[in-house]
Amino acid sequence: MDSSIEIKDNIARTKSLNRKEGIIKLLFASIFIVTGLMLFGFSILYNLKPEAIIRNTFTGFLCGGILIYMLNDAGERKLFSYDNGQKRNRFVISYFACLIISMVLPLVTVGVWPYLFIFLFLGLFSTNEIGLFSGSMLVIFSVMLEKEGSYAEFFMYFLAGAVILVLLRDINETTKIGIPIFISISLQLTLIVAFDILFQNKSLSFAMLIVPIVNILINIILMFILLNMFGVYVIRKSNDRYMDINDTEYPLLVQLKETDKDAYFKAIHIAYLAERIALDLGLNARAVKTMSYYYNIGVIDGSKSWEDVKHFYLENNFPEEAIIYLEEYIKNDRSKQLSKEAGIIYMSETLIESILYLFEKNKDTKINYDDLIEKIFRHKLENKELYNYNISLYELERMKTLMKKEKLYYDFLR
């Protein structure tokens, strides 16, 4: 009876996930249609020549198709930054908003186009590569919709956009944004002067700098608003989510404890050791702790494969990076290189299980922890079990040293 209920639940979950994925794919497909049609409509609205209308429409559909491919590829390969992979509709909405802006920008002077902000906006809600491509194609659209657009307009915004994406890659709560923004703004001002003002065949005056100064002020205001909101609603929210799910009183962990106390306590011990190692090596300690707690969560309903167990993480809104690490560790695909974080969990799990096994045989046994740790590492290296992990010999030595420092903690496992 129980097994039939579980099967029905799994089928319902699969249908729900497929339905959500179907909606996302439909949104992605709309990018192709909407981009091409908007280029076609605005080309007519701006009274462009028939050949320009055909060129613009073709370019719109082409760029839209390439963007869809990049989005699908990023989704399949888990390349999205932050939690953008779970909320891909966020990028679609952002893209359509920026697309509309790009359509109306030909109505204003080129020097005030806010593309520095647009590049950053699109990059934060997808990946740097997608942000660079989508931002570039929008600049191209704005230039093509002008009756006398030039390559100079594209290059001065493309270069500044590329720089802001590079300087603010993978921002977090401790990232200092002042210097990157200052560099980007200074470059934008220099490019506008170099590509636009110097070719106006007029004597240089302060009045000519009013337009680029307005551009700088618009971009600064918009970028600070964007980064502030992004920090509050994306970065901090992700951090808060880690705090929730890494709390030992979190309902899913409590459920694991009620189902299998041994699995629960083993997860707690692995998390303690793995987190300390990750912190020392400068790795993602929060994600490592989450992996330690939840990699064996399938014990609750008997799930073993990734497809059967992933609903726990999706239903509990785990951060995207944590889901990626968990998928990697649970699948344990030895045909490709695994992360350092997975290597830490693997070695911590091996050590904790070894100690628990020895204490289970004899609670009063005296274990030489240094020898045990040396034997474990030697065995794993001799059998080439660590060769698949992207971890150096130096990092393995650091891991070994840190494990040897926890002798007092191991005695609590009796």
- pLDDT-based confidence at residue 206 (cuts at 50, 70, 90): low
Cβ–Cβ < 8 Å for 222, 188: no
Q: 165 near 95, Cβ under 8 Å?
A: no
Q: Whole-prediction pTM value?
A: 0.72
**CA-CA distance, 232 to 226, in Å (whole number)?**
10
**Residues 351, 346: Cα–Cα separation, whole Å:** 9
At 358-406, the pLDDT tens digits run 988 888 888 899 999 999 999 999 988 888 899 999 999 999 999 999 9
Cα 214 to Cα 117: distance, rounded to the nearest angstrom? 14
Which range, 19-33, 185-199, 314-328, is most confident? 314-328
CA distances (Å), origin 18, targets 14, 226, 304: 6, 32, 20
Which pLDDT does position 403 carry in this prediction? 94
Output phi, psi for 228, to 5 deg: -65, -45
**Helical packing angle, 50-76 and 128-144, nearest 10°:** 170
What are the distances in angstroms from CA 367 to CA 55, 88, 250, 359, 375? 76, 51, 34, 9, 13
Q: Does the pLDDT value for residue 50 go beyond 50?
A: yes
Alpha carbons 330 and 306: distance in angstroms, whole number: 6
Average pLDDT over residues 167-192: 87
**Tens digit of each residue's pLDDT (9 = 90 or more) over 268-291:** 999 999 999 999 998 889 899 999
Other Cβ atoms less than 10 A from the Cβ of 58: the count is 13
CA–CA gap between residue 146 and residue 167 (Å, rounded):
31
Phi, psi of 390 (to 5 degrees): -80, 65
